[in-house]
Structure 1
Amino acid sequence: MPEAHSLHRHARDQRAALAGQVLSVSSPQGRFDATPFDGHRLVDVQAHGKHLLYSFEQAPDVHVHLGMKGIFLRTEDLSLPPRAGTRMRLAGETTAFSLIAPSRCEALDAAARAELLASLGPDPLREGAAAREEAARRLGTARGAVGAAVLDQSVWAGIGNAWRAELLFLAGIDPGRRVDEAEAGRVWDLAVELLPLGVDAGQVVSDPTAPDERWVYKRETCRRCGSPVGTRTVGGRTAYTCPVDQR
C-alpha cells in the first residue's frame, strides 16, 4: 500500500499541475459521480497520511484512498482517451490525471471531512517537529507492540510496512515490544528527517547516502551487520528485523 511519502508526492504534483484551474472531471468507469465537480475550479490538493483531499470552489471535497492497488496515470496529451477502468479523471488546461483502482473515491461534505481528519494521528510530513510531543505521547502510551501501534493511522498517519521496518531498525527497537515516550520521540525524529527525502525521491529513503538501499526491509541480511533478517507477523503485517541491532 502506498505510504505517506507517495501520497504527499501525488498531492504536490497534482497541486502544481492543476490548482487554480477549472477542471473537466469525469468517471469513464461510471463508479464515481463527477457531476458536482465537473467545471469547477480546483483550489487545493492536500495529503493527510494515506488520504488525498481535493478542495473545489462551490463543491464538496473529493476524498481518495489508493488502498493496495490504486494508481494515478498522468498525461500531457489531452486528446488521448482515458482507460475504461478510470474511476476519476481530472483534466486541466495542459495535464490530466487518471485515477485507477482506488479503495475510496468519494465526495465529502465539511462534516465528513472533519470526521476523517479527526480520526488520524499526526503526520510527520505535515506537522513535522511541531507535533513531536503529541506523537511521542500517542505512540508511547499505545497498547501492545510498537510495530502494531505505528501502523495504526489513529496513532500516526502515513506510516506503512516499509517505513515501519526502516524507522524501527534505525531506532534500534524491536517491533514486538512496547516503547516509552522517549523512544517514541526518537522514532518520530527519524520520520521527520527521512520522509521528506522519500517525497522527493518517490521511494523509501532510509539512508541519505545510499537512497536506493534498505537496512532490513525485504532483505535477506542486515545491511549494517550482515546478520540474517528475521521475519514475523506484527500488527497483521510482516515485520523485518535484525536480531543484533534490534534486541
Structure 2
Amino acid sequence: MGMPEPHGPWSTDGLPDLPPEWGRVVVPDDASALAQEAAQVRRELREAHRDARRRSWRGTLTLPVLILVVAVLATLAGLVTVTWPRAGSSTPSAPATAREPLPDPVGRPLPALDLVDEAQVPVPLRSLLPAVVLLVDACACPQRVTEAVRAAPPGVQVVTVVGGRTVPTSAAGSAPGVRRLADPADGLRALMHADPVPGTVDVLLVNRTGTVVRVVPAVGSVEDYRTDLTRLTG
C-alpha cells in the first residue's frame, strides 16, 4: 500500500530527491498496472540498442569498403588504359631511313662509288677518271650522249649511268666509246642533289685528280658545260 501524501493517496509530491521537472509522480498499489509502460520502455530500449549496433557496424565497415572500392576502380582503370584501342595505334611501319644529304660536291674529292657493268661486275668510278658522267635514268637521250662524246677532250671518258643494277641493252652500240654502267645504291643522285626529271640528263664533271669540277642538272645541250671540259685534263 502506498502511503498517503498531502496531495493524494499515492502522490510523491514534496519528495526532495526527485527532480522537480518530473512533475507529479503517482505510484500504484499493483505493479501490473505498469506492465504496458514497462513493455513500451523495453521496446524502446531494444530499438535504441539495435540502432546503436547498426551505426557501429556501418562505421566499422565504411573505411575498409571504401579502400576496397578505390582499389577495384584503380585496377579497372589500369586495364582499360592498357587494352583500350588507341587512335592510330595500329602497328606502325618502321619509318624509312632518311638519306643524309651530302655536302655540295663541287671542289671536293669524288667519293668512292662502285657501279656495275652489264655483267654485274663492280666498276669503281674513280678508275675511269677524268670523266664526263651522264645520269640517263630519266631519259636515254642519245643526242645528249653523242654530243658529250664529240665534245670530250682526248683521254676523257664518257660514262652513262642508270639507277638500279641493270644496264639497259637497248642502248648497246648507240654511242661508241661510251662506258655504260648502273648505280645500285643511287650514290650519284645523292652526291649531286639532283632528282631525276623526265626527259632530261644530269651531268657530273670530274678531273683526273678526282676532284668534282661541276654538276650540271637538266642539261639542255653540251653548250651548258662545254667550257668546263678543258678543266678535266689540266
Normalised TM-score (structure 1):
0.18
**Larger strand fraction of residues:** 1
Q: Specify the structure having the higher radius of gyration (Cα).
A: 2
Q: Normalized per residue, which structure has more helix?
A: 2
